[in-house]
Structure 1
């Protein structure tokens, strides 16, 4: 197993007849969740990934597990709850710069995850454990589960990759800041955005943010700076890796998950850090040009074609 990730995936409904839910009588049904987005992104790039979660013993949960299994993700560690439902959310893409999301996840099956749902040997067989800041926000038991998973990874020699993925609606800012800093300090690789770094440290300067995360203990920090691309920081160097320009952003949701999948994929292949971040930038860019949270995540052949065509455009300029 290359990567194990843990977190909630929900049923996603998107208005079809109008971007605004108030006017729409028809909705498309898909699935979305940061961790499963990363898992699917990695499987499309040729890696073996396992997803730990919990769904309701309902039709939505059954459909979700079947779908994610069909994408090549190992779902053997996904449990079913007899008492809690599968979570839902609705997404309005009014335009690329205005995406409204409404969650119906309180009391969901995934929020009932406990440390008893973890298999230490399963986590221990992976090269990386992927964690986001969403899962510990869902409930006290989810926080305990994430911390236990990290402890298992540390014990088993599995590197921890942490994407803060801040969701202010899920918890108080004080609690969020405390937990995100706690997990970042336990992580080997951290993948924040500038806004998340500002939230955690009260600092907007990318170079200072890189230093702050390294001081917490990370060996690698990859800081997303929007369309400019991303910096990577180690104790020896910091480099800005330019982003890729796309003609039109259709749906930006899931771009950060695609970025994470691209970076982790490069690390798994042993690529130089610059190429790992370049792949992350490319996958994130491709995710924005297709509607849906993960639908635009590319295969390795597609990402190589995209990156080569971008190189050709740079030459022609």
Structure 2
């Protein structure tokens, strides 16, 4: 068993951000993006040992991804450089003060070529947790097979699995997602979803209570339902707990769900009770929406009380 707290698997993207409409041109800034790498960074910033595994292009963009992850303390030892495929790109434009739009160029990317062999050694090392999202199995047949193998192997080895549904309509239909994600959820200890994603891991058109009951019967121990500005609910065999959101001024909602998941998993690793795990989860979600970028605003451990313990407009001197 290694001393690795979290292994997460997926595709990291190069995000090119514009402060205005892409169609009129203007400067773009380069950032790291990706649901799974966001979670890894969130945990690393809180002092946990997190590893991200995937494929990156064997060029400057791939090097950029690795440099960003390493600078944040994320273990990239298991990453494979792919000389034949490019890095996936994500273009984000601030269309209005309240609306941002995202365009992806990821078909045929290095990340989409993920396969089972990429994951054998990292998972054999015995991390304390495995985290995946519903994005990865949507990327390609080989990525779907890799995700399926990983959750099954982890569960059989006694490694708890966290599955964040994270549905992306641009990658597959709800029917395609359900046919893959519902079986994956059967191996998970924790399932994370928005209210409108729950039926993707349960019966079609199931409401929250029915979907949760289905998941708990199937062996899931905790179902986390993200409610945005209304906070979050956690369902277990012992009942339901709700924690309100931390009130902040939202400037960028991208990455908030990943921050929430990172906060919850951090609380799990620290041995917190369910409500305190939820409190940490919504606190990290608040940090994410209160700053620009997918992960740039996430806190270090000694900063966790900045949002929850300070009044709006506070300047700390």
Q: Using a 3 Å threshold, how does the CA distance of structure 1 residues 206 and 52 change in structure 2: closer, same or farther?
A: same
What is the aligned counterpart of 1:10 among 8, 13, 17? 13
- Per-residue deviation at 1:198? 4.5
Q: Where has structure 1 moved over 6 Å in runs of 4 or more?
A: none
| Residue 159 of structure 1: aligned partner | 160
| Residue 107 of structure 2: aligned partner | 106
Q: What does 1:297-308 align with in structure 2 at a 5 Å threshold? A: 297-308=298-309
| Residue 182 of structure 1: aligned partner | 183
**Number of aligned pairs?**
309
Greater mean deviation of Cα atoms: 20-29 or 92-101: 92-101
| Residue 33 of structure 1: aligned partner | 34
| Residue 131 of structure 1: aligned partner | 132
- Per-residue deviation at 1:226? 1.7
Structure (1/2) with the larger helix percentage: 1
Greater mean deviation of Cα atoms: 151-160 or 251-260: 151-160
SS at match of 2:170: helix
Structure 2: state its 5+ residue gaps: none
SS at match of 2:8: strand
Structure 1: state its 5+ residue gaps: none
| Residue 88 of structure 2: aligned partner | 87
| Residue 261 of structure 1: aligned partner | 262
Q: Is 1:223 aligned to 2:228, yes or no?
A: no
Q: What does 1:64-79 align with in structure 2 at a 5 Å threshold? A: 64-79=65-80
Q: Separation in 2 of the partners of 1:123 and 1:221? A: 27
Q: Using a 3 Å threshold, how does the CA distance of structure 1 residues 101 and 36 change in structure 2: closer, same or farther?
A: same
Q: Separation in 2 of the partners of 1:109 and 1:95? A: 32
Deviation per CA, 1:84-138, whole angstroms, max 9, x where unpaired?
Answer: 1111110113346422110000000011111111234645421100010000000
Deviation per CA, 1:51-78, whole angstroms, max 9, x where unpaired?
Answer: 1100111110011111111110000011
Greater mean deviation of Cα atoms: 263-272 or 111-120: 111-120
Q: Using a 3 Å threshold, how does the CA distance of structure 1 residues 14 and 209 change in structure 2: closer, same or farther?
A: same
- Per-residue deviation at 1:184? 1.2
Deviation per CA, 1:123-176, whole angstroms, max 9, x where unpaired?
Answer: 542110001000000000000011111122123211000000000110232211
- Per-residue deviation at 1:209? 3.6
Q: What does 1:196-215 align with in structure 2 at a 5 Å threshold? A: 196-200=197-201, 201-203=203-205, 205-215=207-217
Q: Using a 3 Å threshold, how does the CA distance of structure 1 residues 214 and 36 change in structure 2: closer, same or farther?
A: same
- Per-residue deviation at 1:310? 6.3
2:252 touches 2:289 (CA, 8 Å); kept in 1?
Answer: yes
1:123 touches 1:152 (CA, 8 Å); kept in 2?
Answer: no
SS at match of 2:11: coil
